[in-house]
Amino acid sequence: MREFRDFKDIIQDFVAKLGRLSPKELLSYAIKNEREEAEYYAKLAEKVRKLSVRALFIKMSDESRAHEKALLSLFEKLFPGENPVEVEIPPVEVLPFYSEFESVESYLEALKYCMMSELLAKSVYEGLAKIAPDEDTKELAMALAAMEQEHYDEIKKVHDLLVDMRQKEIKPESLKAGAYLFTERRKARYFLLDFMKWDKKLLAIVRENPSELGEMLAGKVKEILWVTKVEGLGGDANVTIVSPRDVPDLRRIIVKFFEGQKDKRGVILLENLGYLALELGFKKAMDFVLYLKDVAILHNGYLIVTSVPEAFDKREWAIITSELELIS
């Protein structure tokens, strides 16, 4: 992996250059920067075979294009009738880095590079905000820094997931039937992208709006059970609204799902165990989880659970991790 110059030197260099720009020039620069970032991530996505990383790069590209569009709208509002001006400063992200993506190490190398690039951009914009000559420039710089932080956080999730899987020698294609745990929802979903490549079908029990999951795993989801107290939501053919208090009554649906997988292996995704424990109590929630685990193993299938450790005390978390194998 190519080396970066001293981080502080790079930041100071960019801050000095950007600090001399007018608000119009800075906004023009940011628009171009987001456009080039979108193109870079799109090219990376074309080279990637691993579905999780490809989805990440596509997401980064799409978000950068959305950022470009939002910044362009802001430019048109602040400077009506004008076009962004050309600024002779190179992109705040480092020079493009393209991996061959032939091994886990090559994926990690590329992800580390992208993380450092996003972190560099964030630091530059934060430094600019500190010396901004007016509030408009300061607010714009902080908004840009927040965008870069969001990208860094998302890339780090996939990076850390791959690191954990390498350390634990976990390969999606050879994962044995059983029950598994993730401490972050996005990590579990990225894992499922690679895991569901093989002959499997998913039934998901989710707390968040199910549309994102449906899009992310299109064609692999048989049904989504959306746990919410609000009635009348949904609308998608494969989305069913379930009240938290009725979740333990889903046992018959779960068994029917597994029995219906003739040439595929069933996978249950249960997100946000902490919320179920809050609504049902820890014992009742765990009784349901253990039932899912046993049914999944009986049918040579899988249970994937997401939960944050902070939602439980030490004893409860010890029980959870004794029954579910922690992947990441």
- 134: region left, alpha or beta (phi > 0 left; psi from -120 to 50 alpha): beta
Mean pLDDT within 207-230: 87
Domain with CATH 1.20.1260.10 in the chain: 7-166
Mean pLDDT within 130-155: 85
Mean pLDDT within 15-36: 83
| Burial of residue 74, with CB atoms counted within 10 A of its CB: 0-12 exposed, 13-18 middle, 19 or more buried | middle
Residue 244 contacts residue 206 (beta carbons within 8 Å): no
Domain with CATH 3.40.50.300 in the chain: 168-326
Which CATH number among 3.30.470.10, 3.40.50.720, 3.30.110.40, 3.40.50.300 corresponds to the domain 168-326? 3.40.50.300
Output the average pLDDT for the chain. 87
Max avg pLDDT among 33-47, 134-148, 225-239: 33-47
Per residue in 235-291, pLDDT (tens digit) is 566 888 999 999 999 999 999 999 988 778 999 999 999 999 999 999 999 999 999
Which class in CATH covers the domain with range 7-166? mainly alpha
Per residue in 32-46, pLDDT (tens digit) is 888 988 998 998 898
Decide: helix, strand or coil at residue 115.
Answer: helix
Query: What does the alpha-carbon distance between residue 315 and residue 104 come to, in Å, rounded to a whole number?
Result: 35
- pLDDT of res. 23: 81
Helix axes 135-167, 51-78, angle to 10 degrees: 180
Q: What is the pTM of this model?
A: 0.87
Max avg pLDDT among 132-141, 216-225, 281-290: 281-290
Listing DSSP states for 63-82 in one string gives HHHHHHHHHHHHHHHHSTT-
Lookup: tokens for 263: 């040439």
Mean pLDDT within 102-126: 82
Lookup: tokens for 76: 């048109």
Listing DSSP states for 185-228 in one string gives HHHHHHHHHHHTTSSEEEEEEESS-THHHHHHTTTTEEEEEEE-
The pLDDT confidence band at residue 4, using thresholds 50, 70 and 90, is: very low
- pLDDT of res. 285: 97
The pLDDT confidence band at residue 232, using thresholds 50, 70 and 90, is: low
Please check the confidence at residue 94 and state whether its pLDDT lies above 80: no
Q: Which of 232, 198, 238 is closest to 215 using CA atoms?
A: 238
